[in-house]
Structure formats: C-alpha cells, structure tokens
Amino acid sequence: MEIKTMEAALFCNHCREEVNHEITYINDDIKSIRCEQCNKTKQLKVDVNRKFYKEIYDRISSKPTRITSEYREDLGHLLLSLPVRTISKPYRLLKDVNASRKILKQYKPKKKPS
C-alpha cells in the first residue's frame, strides 16, 4: 500500500477560482483533495482494509504466473536469483507490511462515542 501526493490546478468552490490543490492517493484511489489557498479539504471514503487485503490477494494469486513467465524468459537468471530472493523475501515482506500498517493506522475510521 502506498500514499502519493500530487498537485493540480482545479477550480475551488470556496475560492471561486482555479488554484492549486494537493491530491492525496492511496494506491490509485483519491483519498483527499486540499485547496492550497483556502485550505479547505474534501475527504473521500476509501476502505483501506479492503484495499490492503485485495493487494495481498493479488500478489499471492499472481505469484505462480510471475514465476512461470520468469522461468520461460530466462531459466538461468531465475535459478541464480532464486536463493537470494528466497533469503531476502521475509525482509521485503516485513518492510511492505510495516508500511501498510502505518497507512492503515493513519486512515483507520474513528469510532463514534456511544
């Protein structure tokens, strides 16, 4: 899971003119749009848990296909890189999980008081 920000010139309903806005994405979905002039922010609902689980599922389910295509393209390279990739995979996975956990924690929906 990845957070990206981008700037774009958009029409602001509050300022009544075209000004720069900061757009925040979670993966490929817009999470928020903030006017840089008046600081008004429009939050959009993104189910980060669903995004996270879909991303994990896609990565796991596509692994056999990716390994097969690497095998067909260059068996020698695959056999040489496999031991290093096998050893480094837990570290790469831990890095991805930690980054995703930070995003999930940041955008976790607030519970309403009873």
Residue 89 has pLDDT above 80, yes or no: yes
Q: Do 58 and 1 touch, CB atoms closer than 8 A?
A: no
Name the β-bridge partners of 11: 18
Question: How would you label 71-93 residue by residue, b for 16+ Cβ within 10 Å and e otherwise?
Answer: eeeeeeeeeeeeeeeeeeeeeee
Instruction: Report the chain's mean pLDDT, rounded to a whole number.
Output: 86
Residue 108 has pLDDT above 80, yes or no: no
pTM of the model: 0.62
Summarised one tens digit per residue, pLDDT across range 29-72 is 898 999 999 999 998 888 888 888 888 888 888 888 988 998 89
